[in-house]
Amino acid sequence: AHPRSGLRLDLVFNPPGPFLPPRQEPLEAKFRKELMETHGIMFNQLIAITNMPIKRFFDFLRKKGTLEGYMDLLVRNFNPSTVPLLMCRNHVNVSWDGRLFDCDFNQQLELGLGRSGLTVFDVDSLHDERLRR
């Protein structure tokens, strides 16, 4: 988003396979350069995430026989200092039909925000207490 627009655009990157994402800072620099030069797109932040072994990715790993190895990779690389910055703690994901989720992974599992699954039509502000679990 252009700095004077008052809007924020954060991009999310997750690796296309059973491995960890590259370091976020150099990846963000590469995305900034490529998107600006190719499409004139500016963004605020790139968030590099690790894939959760759920749904189709889980099935893929199981069929390839790599589920256990990927789970071991995740356990070996767990960094407790990243927990306060987890995407699911301070971002909102909006589905095509307006349902709200605290992250993409919970959207895939259909674990919506609020007890009855809040939508964009239920809240007036991102400061609404019902968005905090």
The model carries a pTM of 0.72
Confidence of residue 133 (pLDDT cuts 50, 70, 90): low
In the chain, where the domains are located: 86-133
Mean pLDDT across 7-29? 93
What is the distance between the alpha carbons of residues 77 and 32, in angstroms, rounded to a whole number? 27
What is the distance between the alpha carbons of residues 48 and 121, in angstroms, rounded to a whole number? 30
pLDDT (tens digit, 9 = 90+) per residue, 40-98? 999 999 989 899 999 999 999 999 999 999 999 999 999 999 888 887 777 788 899 99
What is the distance between the alpha carbons of residues 22 and 11, in angstroms, rounded to a whole number? 15
Query: Pairing between strand 100-101 and 93-94?
Result: antiparallel
